[in-house]
Amino acid sequence: MSHLLVTGGAGFIGANFVRFWRRHRPDDAITVLDALTYAGNRASLAGVDGVDFVHGDIRDTALVERLLHDGAIDTIVHFAAESHVDRSLHGPAEFIDTNVIGTLSLLTAARAVWLAGSGQPHRFHHVSTDEVYGSLGPGDPAFTETTPYAPNSPYSASKAASDHLVRAWHHSYGLQTTTSNCSNNYGPYQFPEKLIPLFLINALHGRPLPIYGDGQQVRDWLHVEDHCRGIAACLERGRVGETYNIGGGSELPNLAVIDTLCAAVDAAFATDADLARRFPDAPAAQGLPTASLKRFVADRPGHDRRYAIDETKARAELGYAPARGFAEGFAATLAWYLANEPWWRAVMDGSYRDWVEANYAARR
């Protein structure tokens, strides 16, 4: 039996991971440490039994030390971060504070508690992103774990810095670390600032779907449940000090994702008459195509053109393979958002509306 500290466990991937781990290892103890920023939501953990929730900041090193020591925690799964590229362009300093200084704080606490005296068995798993590798051209080979780092946004630069710190704490101090670099996640509980939930909710309200640039940017879409299985494989079978790429095997241009989304919303309204009553402003409620909401807007500055993951290492060493293709994963995600309207209504508060106005006003 283990005791996990899950940082950022009230965010999108963290909450899915806590739910996954509860089913996967029901006897393990779980403590969530989350500062409940705009992206953190207690409701995302509703109904999960036996989770000790601590409302606190990863930059509070003394708090983390106390949690590790008093709870006899032996595993950290580190999700907590500022995670949205567009927000990093508006306010980069917060990304350095949380993603770099926050990771430093966790490493400092882990070293102080776990490496004191003769040391104890432990694991520090760091959740990172494929964006640290930069941008690919159309014919370039996919990112491997040895692709040189070339981050292009304040977000990816801050994640790259945190990856380097984790690596250094392993090499210099012997901290038992693993790192995973994954592609674009989607699924339940994703905050509606990211492409898929933003466009889904806009479509339901008849609001424009703002496509950056020409919409031909390519991402590898990873269902969050597959990502959670990949992290579990790193924890259970990953070699200490190593990094593993985790992808979804679904490389798609944004326009293909958006067209899938529009067609799926049309089909949902065609088969469920109640949706037109619940969302009367959706084009689909009036028999019009959701695709009529598509708008090409000014591009994201420095927008990376393509990410692609080569996950040969994770397949060979961990036995990891994504189980859900995009069509299946997307259908399940649409069904979840339609069935969980109270969850997404609750997170779209005043500060959310201010963000949408600030980010999209300049692009119109």
Active-site position among 57, 74, 130, 311: 130
Residues 210-239 touching ligand NAD, rule: CB under 6 A, are none
Q: Which is nearer to ligand DAU, 39 or 175 (CB)?
A: 39
Q: Which is nearer to ligand DAU, 176 or 333 (CB)?
A: 333
Amino acid making up residue 40: G
Are the CB atoms for 127 and 77 separated by under 8 Å? yes
Q: What H or E segment, with its residue span, contains residue 53?
A: strand 51-55
Amino acid making up residue 11: G
Shortest CB 227 distance to ligand DAU, Å: 10
Torsion angle of C-alpha atoms 189, 195, 102, 308, degrees rounded to 10: 110
Is residue 130 part of the annotated active site? The answer reads: yes
Contacts 24+ apart (CB under 8 A), 35-38: 35/80, 36/10, 37/82, 38/191, 38/351, 38/352, 38/355
Q: Which is nearer to ligand DAU, 71 or 253 (CB)?
A: 253
Contact residue for ligand NAD among 4, 6, 8, 68 (CB under 6 A): 8
**35 binds ligand NAD per the rule CB under 6 A:** yes
**250 binds ligand NAD per the rule CB under 6 A:** no
**10 binds ligand NAD per the rule CB under 6 A:** yes
Q: How far is CA 217 from CA 99, 159, 210, 251, 291, in A?
A: 25, 21, 14, 10, 18
Q: Enter the tokens of residue 178.
A: 């693993």
Which distant-in-sequence residues (6+ apart) come within 8 Å of 304 by Cβ?
131, 134, 135, 152, 153, 156, 217
Shortest CB 33 distance to ligand NAD, Å: 6
Is residue 214 part of the annotated active site? The answer reads: no
Is residue 320 part of the annotated active site? The answer reads: no
Shortest CB 86 distance to ligand DAU, Å: 6
Q: Which residues bind ligand NAD (CB under 6 A)?
A: 7-8, 10-14, 33-37, 39-40, 57-59, 79-81, 83, 98, 102, 127, 129, 159, 182, 184-185, 191
Catalytic residue numbers read 130-131, 155
